[in-house]
Amino acid sequence: MVHMPETRRYHHGDLRAALLTAAERTLRERGAGALSLRELAREIGVSHAAPGRHFKDKQALLDALALAGYERLAAALESADDPGQPLEPRLAGLAKAYVGFAVENATLLELMFTRKHDPDASAQLAEVVDRSVGSIMRLVADAQARGEIVAGDPERITLVAASSLHGLAAFAANGSIPPEQVLTGLDEHVHHLLTGLTPR
């Protein structure tokens, strides 16, 4: 049996990272349908069997991409959050981090949400989803404790805020509204979200 020589040598863990990097590039440029473990192996210069050491199939690769995406989103939101700030600038900071991520990673975000709602999603994915999406719920709970927003079910209030921000992020990501216009108008958007549209 003839084995295809590997043209590059990877230290432990490097091959997995290289596969994920190449897979995300393919996802961004051509969509999830274009992903193939064999094609990724050819692209990074390893034998067609090499990816099997890390991903048993394409679905395992997609799951890993979604997990990595949520980890990056969680890190961005955690970095942007400042619990010491008043509610409005604090929410604006989270909004800018989320919309910025959505604009830069539109196809990845779509995959992330698809995997999040899959009944077979892993416990590890559920945990990192909670870290990322849960940022807004934690903000809501803190604001309620400080008397900054109305009392009520924090999940319901979070749904209102998250839906508004995600809708805006989707408009920016798909080009319905120029991303720079969305980002520069986020402070005003958050202000309207918190104060409502009824004249005062």
CATH code for position 19: 1.10.10
- Indicate the number of domains in the chain: 2
User: Could you tell me if 159 and 111 lie in one domain?
Assistant: yes
User: Could you tell me if 151 and 73 lie in one domain?
Assistant: yes
- SS3 sequence, the chain? CCCCCCCCCCCCCHHHHHHHHHHHHHHHHHCHHHCCHHHHHHHHCCCCCHHHHCCCCHHHHHHHHHHHHHHHHHHHHHHHCCCCCCHHHHHHHHHHHHHHHHHHCHHHHHHHHHHHCCCCCCHHHHHHHHHHHHHHHHHHHHHHHHCCCCCCCHHHHHHHHHHHHHHHHHHHHCCCCCHHHHHHCHHHHHHHHHHCCCCC
Can you give the residue range of the structural domain that contains 103? Answer: 59-195
CATH for 115: 1.10.357.10
Instruction: Please give the chain's pLDDT, 200 residues, in tens.
Output: 444 444 455 554 588 899 999 999 999 999 888 888 888 888 888 888 888 788 888 888 899 999 999 999 999 999 999 999 999 999 999 999 999 999 999 999 999 988 877 777 788 888 888 888 889 999 999 999 999 999 999 999 999 999 999 999 999 988 899 999 999 999 999 999 999 988 87
What are the tens digits of pLDDT across the range 31-72?
888 888 888 888 888 888 888 788 888 888 899 999 999 999
Asked if the structure places residue 190 within a domain, the reply is yes
